Structure 1
Amino acid sequence: MKREAAAEGGEGEGEKGGENFCLKSLLDKGSVESHRYYLARRTVLEMLKDRGFAVPSCEIEVSLEEVRNKHGQIPEVDEWGVSSLHKENLEMQVLVLFSGPGIVKVNNIRAIAAQIVNKDSLSGLILVVQNKMTSQALKAVELFSFKVEIFQIADLLVNVTKHEMKPKHQVLTNEEKQNLLKKYSIDEKQLPRMLQKDAIARYYGMEKGQVVKVTYGGELTQLHVTYRCVW
């Protein structure tokens, strides 16, 4: 798959060079930067939709050529923001912002805080960065009154849930979780664990104590279901 190939270039010897080479190999013309933003933004939109936010399919399916025609070859990060309301809970609103290629410093976080207009109505912020963050910047993020998730753009070049080798994951509602525990007469601590920093847990924005149903199956293996609790 093309998207998987784009991500594999970031591993092994010459990480950045390999990644750039792999991305360039997918392009007839155009900049690596615009392709990276395109892939990352598409994954973010898919992630929001899988979390239950209202994301039109036409936004996800927009082509690289259309994106380049709109944003150009050298993307301006301010143009890539996304804001979305949850389909079932209209009080939940998430904002996605992209940062530039430089190290994220505390002044950058202050600038982000200043540009957020409706802080009171915001329930979450997803910040996509391209470089490391200083310790002061990370501390500043903790001062926000809403949840802030930080993703490296390299981690969003591929949607981890779409890999053909990945089992199916379904986040249980609290009611479904309680029914599961009651059915097997167990406590959540007795379930296999999934770390909150796990790629799947991060993709779905899972909190500690939430349970995910994992379904394994394929042509060579029998259907197998297990449950994991986030810690």
Structure 2
Amino acid sequence: MENPTGPDEAARLWKVNRTVHELVRDRGFQVSDEEIEMDLATFKQLYANSGGSVDRTQINFFTNHKNNPSDHIFIFFSEEKSVGVKTMRKLVTIMEEKSITRGIIIFPGNMTPSARKVIVAMSQQYQLEEFSESDLLVNITRHTLVPQHQKLTNEEKKTLLEKYRLKETQLPRIQLADPVARYYGLKRGNVVKIIRPSETSGRYASYRICF
């Protein structure tokens, strides 16, 4: 396992930074091609010191949704290896100052149970998600064995259920903790369209509901 604060830290964070920018863009938020296509040398030049360490506060960023400019998301890289309540308070303070209600925290090690309780306690005001850096070293949705997933809008979900005369409980399920569900930020009740290649028809679609 790579050491998150060792000599390969810059290369590790370069991969994580690229994946989280892809994740945000795949959710419909604005991200430039330059951010995703940035090579390791440029990343090191911008964010790493002479010893190869990266100041994580410099790679925090926020952006807005393409279809709703008032919908912002804040990406916060924790400097604390084991995230506790102190770091969560810091994140919430920044989001409060920027009037942002949606955030993702990325950490080098793990998250304490107390910190996770903050996410639950603040869920009425803030939509907070958490990923370890290890979760984002590779983009799982780019793997050849992972089919294309598309999150349906509420209207598309309604149309689907009416067209096939289905109840939500009749749809196959995808778990909330599924890595792909986490990547797209699915919530309970969300439906995804899964597109797979087909030898006969070129491709076919199936649907799953998050629970």
Question: Among 22, 26, 32, which residue is 1:56 paired with?
Answer: 32
- The 4+ residue runs of structure 1 with deviation greater than 4 A are 218-222
Select between 82-91 and 30-39 the one with higher mean Cα deviation: 30-39
Question: Among 171, 175, 178, which residue is 2:155 paired with?
Answer: 175
> Displacement, 1:176?
1.2
Return 5+ residue gaps in structure 1 as ranges.
Answer: 1-15, 21-29
Question: Among 33, 39, 47, which residue is 2:23 paired with?
Answer: 47
Give the RMSD, CA atoms, in angstroms. Answer: 2.0
Question: Among 99, 120, 139, which residue is 1:159 paired with?
Answer: 139
Question: Corresponding residue for 1:227?
Answer: 207
Going from structure 1 to structure 2, the CA distance change for 1:174 and 1:33 (only over 3 Å counts) comes to same
Counterpart AA for 1:156: L
Question: % of aligned pairs identical?
Answer: 36
Question: Corresponding residue for 1:35?
Answer: 11
Counterpart AA for 2:15: L
Question: Among 201, 208, 212, which residue is 2:181 paired with?
Answer: 201
1:214 aligns with 2:194: yes
Deviations 1:174-217 (A, max 9, x none): 11111111111111110000011111111111111111111111
> Displacement, 1:153?
0.6
Aligned residue for 2:110, secondary structure, equals coil
Question: Corresponding residue for 2:100?
Answer: 122
> Displacement, 1:221?
9.6
Distance 1:117 1:174 in 2: 28
TM-score (norm 2): 0.89
Going from structure 1 to structure 2, the CA distance change for 1:58 and 1:215 (only over 3 Å counts) comes to same
Question: Corresponding residue for 1:188?
Answer: 168
Aligned residue for 1:216, secondary structure, equals strand
Aligned residue for 2:74, secondary structure, equals strand
1:136 aligns with 2:114: yes
Going from structure 1 to structure 2, the CA distance change for 1:164 and 1:220 (only over 3 Å counts) comes to farther
1:71 aligns with 2:50: no
Counterpart AA for 1:87: K
Distance 1:53 1:149 in 2: 16
Select between 98-107 and 150-159 the one with higher mean Cα deviation: 98-107
Deviations 1:96-137 (A, max 9, x none): 001125211212222323334535x31311000111222222
CA contact (8 A) 2:95 2:101 kept: no
Going from structure 1 to structure 2, the CA distance change for 1:220 and 1:102 (only over 3 Å counts) comes to farther
Counterpart AA for 2:157: K
* Matched length: 204
> Displacement, 1:167?
0.9
Counterpart AA for 2:90: A
Aligned residue for 2:83, secondary structure, equals coil
Distance 1:57 1:174 in 2: 29
Return 5+ residue gaps in structure 2 as ranges.
Answer: none
Aligned residue for 2:92, secondary structure, equals helix
